[in-house]
Amino acid sequence: MSILYQIIETKKTEIELNKKNYSFSDLEKLKGFSRAVNSFSESLQNCKFGIISEFKRKSPSKSNINKNCNVNDVIKGYENAGASGISILTDEQYFGGSSKDLILARENTNLPILRKEFIIDEYQILEAKGLGADAILLIASCLKKEAIKNLSQFAKSLGLEVLIEIHNLNELDNCLIESVDIIGVNNRNLKTFEVDINTSKDLAKYIPKEFIKISESGITNKKEIIELIDYGFEGFLMGGNFMKEKNPGIAANNFINNLKKPVK
């Protein structure tokens, strides 16, 4: 049984339990539901390097990344560093996150926030809106084409932007629809956890220009960023590289400042 399958099965149980405790109308009363959405797409297009800094405490591939970090401090550090956006893991069992992390992040930044979650139900999208997210993540490897279409259209109806994550050409073919804003290439193989940024390079030419494209996972240095920009990538989602440090905000600041220096 793959880890992705395990996560999705866990998510189904979580969603049914949450629906019993909080109705759709309850979610619409959450503080974040009435706020104006900040555009993730515009933020990436208006920044030369488009660093999306991620907040996560652990992952299935690394059981402990940074369990003692403070959401407020990290998010403020990311904004001060010059990040273009923030990604918040809200899965608790596998990534150590929570909805509270997203709420706290929203209170501490005006940057656009991506709710990084294993979304399989409209309920989670409504929840994302209520928590203060500006964009949602859909993972092509765990959704059929019809589900991608329906979920992305529902998100757009709420004013949220949609980032869809792919790993190969077959997944990309299911994602080329008007209700998708950003296509992210995940360089991590979800079956083996191996990372190869050539995955982004190989798929870049197949992603139509009307979609913003970002590269995710395994990016660790300036050279890789510059190379990926040459392939048309406008954003780079980075989590572990910053979160593994004692002060993720300072790590992000050092990385982004180095990007700004002229290439020798």
Q: How many whole angstroms from its chain centre is CA 192?
A: 20
Contacts of 258 (CB under 8 A, 6+ apart): 222
Taking the CB of residue 27, how many other CB atoms lie within 10 A of it? Answer: 21
Residues that are catalytic: 54, 56, 116, 165, 186, 216-217
Helix or strand or coil: residue 182?
strand
Q: What is the dihedral of CA 85, 51, 57, 17, to 10 degrees?
A: 40
Check if the beta carbon of residue 105 is closer than 8 Å to that of residue 134: no
Helix or strand or coil: residue 46?
coil
